[in-house]
Amino acid sequence: MKTSSQYSPGSPILCVAGARPNFMKIAPIIRRMQEKPDPIPIKLVHTGQHYDPQMNDTFFNQLQIPLPDIALEVGSGSHAFQTAEIMKRFEPVVDSESPAAVLVVGDVNSTIACALVAAKKGIPVIHVEAGLRSYDRTMPEEINRVLTDQLSELLFITEPSARENLLQEGIAEQRIFHVGNVMIDTLRRCQALAVPVQDVLSDLENKDLYLKGDNGYCVLTLHRPSNVDNAQLFRQLLETVRMVSEEVPVIFPIHPRTRNRIAELGLQKLVESPRIVQLQPLGYLEMLGLVSESRLVMTDSGGLQEETTVLGVPCITLRDNTERPVTVEQGTNTVVGHDRQQVMSIVSDVLRNGGKQGRTPELWDGKAAIRIKSVLADWLRRRDGQAAMANG
């Protein structure tokens, strides 16, 4: 097997993105790395794990991410197929580029696949958003998180609990850096550009119900297999959503996979209501505007738990656990699992009293990517010095 462990000063860092959550995380990193007077050489690799233009091209345009230097165009498939296909297509990229490192973000299949290829070839792995743990191994993302962290040389964390998780798993403390949250870098940069909700709903006949109603509206997202693949559980969740909509209108941007499951299971009638708006997937700026102006969010997304905390919007997480405990301990998030009574109680509290209030966690200030670049610049200087000594 060809290896690429020989380091050459000036080699680029390969920055990997593949799925919708990655785009918001990689955008500020690329922007800061390219900033003068001391840019760090990078190349952007897009695996194509998300290939729907509505979940891909729109994000590149709105977040002003440059076109990828390398596109793997993997597409959809099972976890095993997708991970293997990314590895097969990424390996020759590593061989041809001989990168200084491979930087991966988050916990999707692209993250673990590219980390595995790099580690096996002796290329340092850098993991942004390391150390998050749900301690639920039924989540594919949890497997990706744990394995990627074990392969990584530099681990950038978003919250203090991540450090404790990594230390317990045997990661050396000097490899862990608390830099903040790059997702929030993107949110703060784009907040003034968010699309107003009246524009998002401009084609809706009964939009006044959402724009001028006394209770405002609730934003709903559902996509995790644990919620949508179990027919009985999914039905119960949608029945709960229907009950919530009787108290506060619901806006539901539907993930393509979720829409397909609703059709397969014959559950359309549960979401067919004047008080439930079904939308196609939204761009980042549209979704940011929608959430910013909402009264409440119900979700199984990890990123929305973080964004609602910063925006001060009460969040109900429709999962049994969260890998982002700081959003519960300090933020506006409440994890309810699938407890309908608890959901309705929180909705009632939001409408009567405003719901859970929180505060912004430490270092979620829009400067995480600046800190990441600083650490990487120091690390590269040390490697350059070591390489010079070895060659001298």
Residues acting as catalytic residues: 223
Q: How far is CA 310 from CA 266, 330, 336, 341, 370, in A?
A: 37, 10, 20, 26, 19
Please, which residues have CB within 8 angstroms of residue 392's CB and are 6 or more apart in sequence? none
For tokens 């690799």, the residue is: 45
> What is the C-alpha to C-alpha distance for residues 213 and 12, in angstroms, rounded to an integer?
53
* Cβ within 8 Å of residue 282, ≥6 positions away: 200, 253, 290
Q: Please list, in sequence order, all residues whose beta carbon lies within 8 angstroms of the beta carbon of residue 105, skipping any fewer than 6 positions away.
A: 16, 17, 22, 25, 26, 29, 111, 127, 128, 129, 182
Q: Are 361 and 368 in contact (CB under 8 A)?
A: no
Angle, CA of 217, 218 and 219, to the nearest 5° = 125
Dihedral sign computed on CA atoms, order 358, 363, 369, 372: negative
SS3 of residue 316 by DSSP: strand
* Cα(126)–Cα(104) distance, integer angstroms: 6
Check: CB of residue 36 under 8 Å from CB of residue 374: no
